[in-house]
A and B are shown apart, each in its own frame.
Chain A
Amino acid sequence: MDFAFSEEQEMLRRSTRDFLAKECSPKVVRKLMEGSGYDAAMWKKIADLGWTALGIPEEYGGAGTFLDLVVVLEEAGRALLPGPFFATMGLAVPAILEAGTEAQKKEALGAIAQGSARATLAFTEPSGRWDAGSVSLKATRAGGGWKLEGVKLFVPDAGVADYTVVVARTRGDGRPRSEDEDGITLFLVKGRPAGMTVNPLETLDMTRRWGEIRFDDVQLGDDAVMGAPNKAWPHLKRALEQSTAALCAEMVGGVQKVLETSTDYAKTRQQFGKPIGIYQAVSHKLADMLVLSESGRSATYYAAWAVDADAPDRSLASSMAKAYVSDAYRKVAGDGIQVHGGIGFTWEHDMHLYFKRAKSSEVTLGDATYHRELVAQALDL
């Protein structure tokens, strides 16, 4: 057993951090946050570094492992990298890998690895839930293909995705039922077919864009179906486990950055003639933030390994990580503002960007309460 990244992975971490410090400074993040949220030139640089090939098998044009991707995602989270990197690499790629046909993998993964396509996963609906029973978007047989009718909400980076993995219900009466794992089909939608409209949402965390996608009588060919109709849930579930580990990696990068920034501030900010970090009311808060950061990281790294190695506890490990890290990021980001005092509450300071990212990540792929319930089920309570 070895619970550490390899030397090569640590090198990748250093070069990623250097690149992001230069290319994705807080100034850049704010510009994107206030603008379109996506910078094609930055995407090209990212692709040139090989990040968009990580975790994609060589046969589809990829290079590098999922754990390499975890390292990059952690740094991306630390820098609050805006744009569809997580949506593409963390959400869409695992779904395509788990459920896609050979032809779909060749085409979509190849384009993603090359840097010429971005992608996302359209799962949630107005209920905001992440279980199988929440899926009610209807796909029915029509002509030689399929017809999609319904709404997907809170879809990350829907506006810039070239491929959208759509989770649809193809059996049953369309009424959400939590036990309804049978009857779910995935579709790989390329571009914007007629009847598909994307409406951007204004959200708390504008470093990450969410959109509403409306499917109004959207016609798709049979080649859009991913795997066997009605039987997609087990594949999607595995993909979501991987996505969850990937998101946790991004989150622990943010946690660590908030801890470092707050610790530095406590060392230099003087009150009553002393650095505030000398007062235990402050230093003990930072010690607690350290415990949350370290534990979140341990849980995340293990989950990443477990999904990658297909360990028997991969599902439990990813739920444990998401439950822990969701709470940890929210708490640490909030305490980070508190340690900074008034300056931490200003628009000018970066603390609020992390506080908002913490909140938006918390509800993505299921919050702590949802994942604790999954853990309780695994404990047979």
Chain B
Amino acid sequence: MDFDLSPDEKAFRDQVRAWLKANAPRDGDGDGDMETFIERRRAWQKKLSEAGYVGITWPEEYGGRGGNFMNQLIFNDEMILAQAPEPINVIGLGMGGPVVIAHGTEEQKKRYLPPLLSAEEIWCQGFSEPNAGSDLSGLQTRAEDRGDHYIVNGQKVWTTLAHVAKWCMLLARERKEPNPRDGLTYLLVDMESPGVEVRPLVQITGDAEFNEIFFKDVKVPKSQILGEACKGWAVAMTTLLHERGTLGLALATRAQITAAELAEHARKLGRGADPLVRQKIAQHTIEARALQLNGYRAVTAVKRSGIPGPEGSILKLMWSELNQRMTETAVDIAGPSGQVSDGDGWKYQFLRSRANTIEAGTSEVLRNILAERVLGLPRSR
């Protein structure tokens, strides 16, 4: 056991630190409205990628850095220190890229990965449907085989970034099989194709960060199948493992940022004299740190096995519930002022956090995964 950095790791850390100091957008800049937010974050990712700080663990031949998970961890930690914003392409970086690396052909890797890294092409994920949430294999979007292409019809929902995305990771039913997990095909759909319609979905924050996507007779060439036809379930599972594992590390980073901001918020409000507030914020900080350390242990485990295990579900489960508690504390300690529209964003975060325990696997599904795949308890379904 050793938490000290090796000389190489130290050199990498110093290099990242210096670069972020010179290049990270100032915290106080603000993101403005949704459009400005997207453009600023896109430009920020482009800058990061030109410096080689996006896709740190991805192979060099596809534009990645060819680094290891330690490099990624060091980078994440430096991002916290610099209070730097996240890149725009969160879905693509957390899920799209890793799944293309795992299941894509050589051509697909060359085609999709570089523009994903530079944020020229943003990705979104088309899994959930109005009638298929946690029970994903019950989805109804159809992919009809027409020889060299498919015709896709159906509807997806809760799609982050769909309105600006170029590519959608779409899971659709090609054949009806006795086991609903068979017969699904994983397609990469060009969001500029005729027949794709994106409608914003206004959420409880009043913003439209999610969308619905309607597919009406959308033509998708077979070159855009990821993995094998009718064997999309395995590809989807890889996607979700990365969603909860690799993304879990990013969430651990985010929890550190939120905990630090919350402590700052309490100091500014002068609530530090209240012993209950002290206890609460200390507890949040401790949980955020435990979450981060779980992430570190997961990284050591990944180094051995190569892929994130179901333990990654722990990170996502912990983060989502902790984030709800932290944002609620932030609103609570502001008293009635916490109800008033303000510039510091806590009211928004408080509302937004309600989705954390639903998106990317509900807390209920994650507890099932931990119970069944980690503890080996009998399947409940």
Task: Tell me the bound Cα distance from A324 to B370 in angstroms.
Answer: 21
In addition to A5-B1, A275-B377, A290-B370, 13 A-B residue pairs with Cβ atoms within 8 Å of each other are: A1-B2, A2-B300, A3-B297, A4-B297, A4-B301, A266-B377, A278-B378, A279-B380, A295-B291, A301-B1, A301-B297, A309-B4, A381-B281
A298 at the interface (CB under 8 A from B): yes
Is the beta-carbon distance between A1 and B278 smaller than 8 angstroms?
no
Indicate whether A364 reaches chain B with its CB closer than 8 angstroms.
no
Give the chain B neighbours of A379 by CB distance below 8 A.
Answer: 263, 281-282, 285
User: Among the interface residues B263, B287, B367, which one has the most CB atoms of the partner chain A within 10 A?
Assistant: B367
Q: Which of B263, B281, B317, B364 contacts A291 (CB 8 A)?
A: B317
Evaluate contact between A3 and B286: CB separation under 8 angstroms: no
Q: Is B237 an interface residue (CB 8 A)?
A: no
Q: Which of B258-310 contact A (CB under 8 A)?
A: 263, 266-267, 271-272, 275, 277-279, 281-283, 285-287, 289-291, 293-294, 296-297, 299-301
Interface status of A283 (Cβ within 8 A of chain B) = yes
Contacting pair A302 B3 (CB below 8 A): yes
Within 8 A of B (CB), among A230-273: 263, 266-267
Residue A284 lies at the interface, judged by CB distance under 8 Å to chain B: yes
Binds B, one of A108-116, A130-138, A368-376: A368-376
List 14 interface pairs A-B (beta carbons < 8 Å), by A numbering: A1-B2, A1-B9, A1-B73, A3-B1, A287-B368, A291-B318, A291-B370, A296-B290, A298-B290, A299-B293, A302-B296, A311-B3, A369-B279, A379-B281
Mask for A285-319, Cβ within 8 A of B = 1, else 0?
A: 01110110011111101101110010100000000
Q: How far is the CB of B232 from chain A (nearest CB, A)?
A: 28
Is B314 in contact with chain A by the CB < 8 A criterion? yes
Assuming the A-B contacts A302-B293, A375-B286, are A280 and B378 also in contact, with contact meaning beta carbons closer than 8 angstroms in the complex?
no
Q: A380 interface residue, CB < 8 Å from B?
A: yes
B interface footprint on A338-381 (CB within 8 Å = 1, 0 otherwise): 00000000000000000000000000000001001101100111
Provide the bound-state CA to CA distance between A6 and B279, in Å.
36
Given contacts A263-B375, A286-B375, A294-B314, contact A299 B290 (CB under 8 A): yes
A90 within 8 A of B: no
Interface assignment of B5: CB less than 8 Å from any CB of chain A:
yes
Report the minimal beta-carbon distance from A212 to chain B, rounded to whole angstroms.
31
Shortest distance between the CB of B296 and any CB in chain A (Å): 5
CB distance from A368 to the nearest CB of B (A): 8
Complex contact A267–B378 (CB within 8 A): yes
Chain A positions within 8 Å of B289 at CB level: 299, 320
Q: Check if A84 is an interface residue, CB within 8 A of chain B.
A: no
Q: Does any Cβ of A come within 8 Å of B311's Cβ? A: yes
* CB-based contact B290/A309 at 8 Å: no
Looking at the complex, which one of A275, A287, A381 makes contact with B378 (CB distance below 8 Å)? Answer: A275
Tell me if B374 counts as interface (CB < 8 A to partner A): yes
Are B1 and A67 within 8 A (Cβ)? yes
Contact with A376, one of B1, B73, B279 (Cβ below 8 angstroms): B279
> Residue on B with the closest CB to A295?
B290
In the complex, how many angstroms separate the beta carbon of A234 from the nearest chain B beta carbon? 23
User: Counting CB contacts under 8 A, is A76 at the interface?
Assistant: no
